Structure 1
Amino acid sequence: MRLQHIRGRRTTAVAALLTMALAVPIAAQATEDSGPHDSAAAKAAAEIPRQYRVTGPDSVAERDRLARLGVSLDEVAKKSVVITADSAQLKKVRALGWQTKSLGGPPARDSSGKKVRPGVADFPSDDSGYHTYDEALKAIDEAVAAHPDILSKQVIGKSHEGRDLLAVKISDNVKDDEDEPEVLFTHHQHAREHLTVEMALYLIDEFGGKYGSDEAIKKAVDGREIWIVPDLNPDGGEYDITGGEYQMWRKNRQPNEGSQEIGTDQNRNWDFKWGCCGGSSEDPGAEDYRGAAPESAPEVKVVSDFVRSRVVGGKQQITAAIDFHTYGELVMWPWGWTQDEVTDGMTQDDIDTFKAIGKDMAASNDYTPQQDSALYTTDGAIDDYLWGDQKIFAYTYEMYPGDSGSDGFYPPDEVIEKETARNRESVLKLLDNADCMYKAIGKEDQYCK
């Protein structure tokens, strides 16, 4: 049974038009930000984050300086950076003397003319191939029902707004906790990165549907216990498609005490090197706000607890992991908190193993392989946590597209099938290495016997 990537177009009856505050950002997409705003609607629109190309920052140090202004760094080129910023953050960027160019707002993609009610979460009509949270749950339930011998699901916790956080298990004896290497795939830490949920559904579909006919799939399912967390940020994801319009939202939807600003950047909230090194912000209004404390984001705490629960007999059963993001077409590995490769907690053999497998995976999907901090410094990120705290060989994938010219965080639904399948071989490579990651550098006898 195959999950359907292209949904039927829904016919939602709508009694009223969207409010002006929602409509203005669409009209403003093609315009460069200008001078003072003359209306309340324009002022509201100014607070919707937008993307800008910043010319000037050409080193990690300069990009870190830029990130400390509270913007998110979305794309890095030799002499420029694409950021997401609101109007106040943009003023700070310009005050440093860097040139900025507006790239506009997110695409509208509603050729049907059928408006979604304000407050209702749904994708624009032209992007209905993407799954909402409820649709993803339904697809997962159908897959588990179709393949109960190798697929199961469990609720591992709740989001801030009370949505279920799931872990889907894939294994030949799925009801048993076997003594097999475990591999973890996590998705959708950042709300606007919807393609990563489709990546999760693709993996569930691929492993479930092809177990009886594909030798590589059967080998992986028979020899590993695979865990898929399909949606780490369902609250933010639903908010990002409010009213059938993209909101450019990144964080979760957790209120911050003492502030009107909403949300924590989940991928700065993990409990390793949290807030250590200038790779996140203490400002609740920042795109990379790290939260009040490590694991203060309930979704991060849930997944951290799940990972810790996989320590059996004093040994972590999860040996490898991928956290899926968009965009940039990158395969990355720790560290993010430092430019150094070999440090306390990372030996030369460790980093050589990360590189060997990372480059092999990147060769199969045509991504660029590199250390996390090659772009800019991050602290409190998931792959640093998984390796630094749990010794799980953890990678971060930045999926399609390669740059903002292909709609950045919002690629059209026509690319879903191709861009998820693009990662099949790289995922299989990681699964193949999961019994002894050090065999990638020829040292399995030293580390795995």
Structure 2
Amino acid sequence: MTPSLASPPPTGDRMRPRRIRGGRATVLAAVLSLALAAPIAAAQDAPATTPAPHGAPDADRAHQYEVTGPATPAERTALTATGASVDEVHARAVVITADRTQAARVRHLGYALRQLPDPPAPARTSGRIKDFPPGYTGYHTYEEMTKEIDALVAKYPQILSKQVIGKSQEGRDILALKLSKNVSKDENEPEVLFTAHQHAREHLTVEMALYLLNEFTSKYGSDDRITKMLDSREIWIIPDLNPDGGVYDIATGKFQSWRKNRQPNAGTKEVGTDLNRNWDFKWGCCGGSSDDPGDETYRGPSAASAPEVQVVSTFVRSRIVGGKQQIKAAIDFHTYSELVLWPFGFTNDQTGPGMTQDDHDTFAAIGKKMAAGNGYTPEQSSQLYITDGAIDDWLWGDQKVFAYTFELFPSSNGAGGFYPKDSVIPKETARNKDPVLQLLETADCPYRAIGKEQQYCKNKH
């Protein structure tokens, strides 16, 4: 998952948690003390680079649990100190992903846990491996994604180009696709970045990226909004930040509920860094990530230590031209919970170093309008719990990009969680066409959203 996840309480009305501005340090200190006292489970027997085969013992594999009791941001932040990830939030309950050790730490805090059903593992109808199981074959594997992208580039070479901007831990290409009327030229136009699939099990995000590529190419010249944006913007799409993790998650035909990348952790059998806790802004600052390589939210040994984060960071910095960052706005796609989130995640404060009240108000105004377009819930990410080292915090805090996180369909584990059936792909990706176009349309002057275009953007017109 990603900075913060929410779903409606049983009444059907999404309850927005009360903001907590004090007492966090005391809570975290208590949790860490208890967590250290909790028994530590045995290390996994399976090799670090291969999923446990069907029928193999996997007592320490992560599962989803419903946790009854946590109701405030401070309590939910305290839960993350156990090493679990928070996947969705209700009025007085949350859903977490945790292995046996982390679940024991949560119980040690006095909470009741109820294990939820594991992701589906349908019987295979063929001997194929490294593919999605029946009911999910509409999702693209990494190879299928690459072939579709290559076909689009060949079909629309005037408006779509492909760059390999680096390699993943296991040597797979990380791609950046550019969409623009004069795609071969670097024009003085506002740039907007869309990224997907930081977390391995969030496969719907790759489909979101592919939807945008198909929609923007096939509708150019016939859809007025799309045509205008490609004529006046440079659009970048990075469709798969974590290809290794995605391949691993489906390699056996049984979803592994894998979150992190596949980077070995020296001195341990544990594998993987949570890419969305590894960005080089407020990395590890505020109790919003873990320093334990076995945890779901392990932030890595140092900021930007994950090769995939290094690749995308370098790419973003390469868009600084004449001392100015050309990327003006961004969306990082995740699943699940149907949220539109904005910085900061590392603090409850609306303002602070690098964030003025006008900045915050602009984030909120644009975020709320986009949420009105897709029916999601809009909020500052720390309203649910604290995170540090997240991409949207880095994009704003380091590069001054108006960056958002979208948590896509569904709203809850019961509606499919991380693994909704492929039948939802067309509807749930198209649902975000209007919000994406809104962000593109405002990218030339985001402050227009709060009526301060003349103050902040007068030199651009």
Flag whether TM exceeds 0.5 (same fold).
yes
Map 1:243-262; keep pairs closer than 5 Å. Answer: 243-262=252-271
Equivalent residues of 2:51, 2:248 under 8 A apart = no
Provide structure 1 residue ranges, at least 5 long, that are not aligned to the other structure. Answer: 1-18, 25-40
Inter-partner Cα distance in structure 1 for 2:91 and 2:51: 39
Equivalent residues of 2:262, 2:271 under 8 A apart = yes
Q: Which has the higher contact order (CA 8 A, sep 6+)?
A: 2
With normalisation by structure 1, the TM-score equals 0.90
Q: 1:22: how far off?
A: 3.1
Q: Would you say 1:93 and 2:124 are equivalent positions?
A: no
Q: Counterpart of 1:405?
A: 414
Inter-partner Cα distance in structure 1 for 2:363 and 2:313: 22
**Range with bigger deviation, 317-326 or 62-71:** 62-71
Give the letter aligned to residue 123 of structure 1: F
Q: Would you say 1:107 and 2:120 are equivalent positions?
A: yes
Provide structure 2 residue ranges, at least 5 long, that are not aligned to the other structure. Answer: 1-49
Give the letter aligned to residue 197 of structure 1: V
Inter-partner Cα distance in structure 1 for 2:51 and 2:419: 23
- Runs ≥4 residues deviating over 6 A: none
Inter-partner Cα distance in structure 2 for 1:266 and 1:21: 23
1:222-249 deviation per Cα after TM superposition (whole angstroms, max 9, x unaligned):
0100000000000000000011110000
Q: Secondary structure at the match of 2:54?
A: helix
Inter-partner Cα distance in structure 2 for 1:375 and 1:210: 38
Question: Which of 428, 451, 457 in structure 2 is aligned with 1:448?
Answer: 457
Inter-partner Cα distance in structure 1 for 2:51 and 2:322: 59
Q: Would you say 1:293 and 2:302 are equivalent positions?
A: yes
Map 1:136-155; keep pairs closer than 5 Å. Answer: 136-155=145-164
Question: Which of 436, 439, 443 in structure 1 is aligned with 2:448?
Answer: 439
Inter-partner Cα distance in structure 2 for 1:240 and 1:66: 25
Inter-partner Cα distance in structure 2 for 1:253 and 1:150: 34
Question: Which of 336, 341, 346 in structure 2 is aligned with 1:332?
Answer: 341
Q: Would you say 1:307 and 2:316 are equivalent positions?
A: yes
Q: How many residues align?
A: 409
Inter-partner Cα distance in structure 2 for 1:20 and 1:163: 19
Q: Secondary structure at the match of 1:402?
A: coil
Q: 1:109: how far off?
A: 3.6
Inter-partner Cα distance in structure 2 for 1:220 and 1:48: 45
Q: 1:115: how far off?
A: 4.4
Question: Which of 176, 184, 187 in structure 2 is aligned with 1:175?
Answer: 184
Q: Counterpart of 2:88?
A: 75
Equivalent residues of 2:374, 2:434 under 8 A apart = yes
Q: Counterpart of 2:195?
A: 186
Q: Secondary structure at the match of 1:46?
A: coil
Q: Secondary structure at the match of 1:369?
A: strand
Give the letter aligned to residue 22 of structure 1: P
Q: 1:443: how far off?
A: 0.5
Q: 1:398: how far off?
A: 0.1
Identical aligned pairs, as a percentage?
A: 65
Q: Counterpart of 1:36?
A: none
Equivalent residues of 2:51, 2:252 under 8 A apart = no
Inter-partner Cα distance in structure 2 for 1:416 and 1:115: 25
Equivalent residues of 2:194, 2:236 under 8 A apart = yes
Inter-partner Cα distance in structure 1 for 2:162 and 2:422: 26
1:278-328 deviation per Cα after TM superposition (whole angstroms, max 9, x unaligned):
000000001000001111000000000000000000000000000000000
Q: 1:86: how far off?
A: 0.9
Q: 1:133: how far off?
A: 0.1
1:396-426 deviation per Cα after TM superposition (whole angstroms, max 9, x unaligned):
0000000111110000000000000000000
Q: 1:113: how far off?
A: 3.3
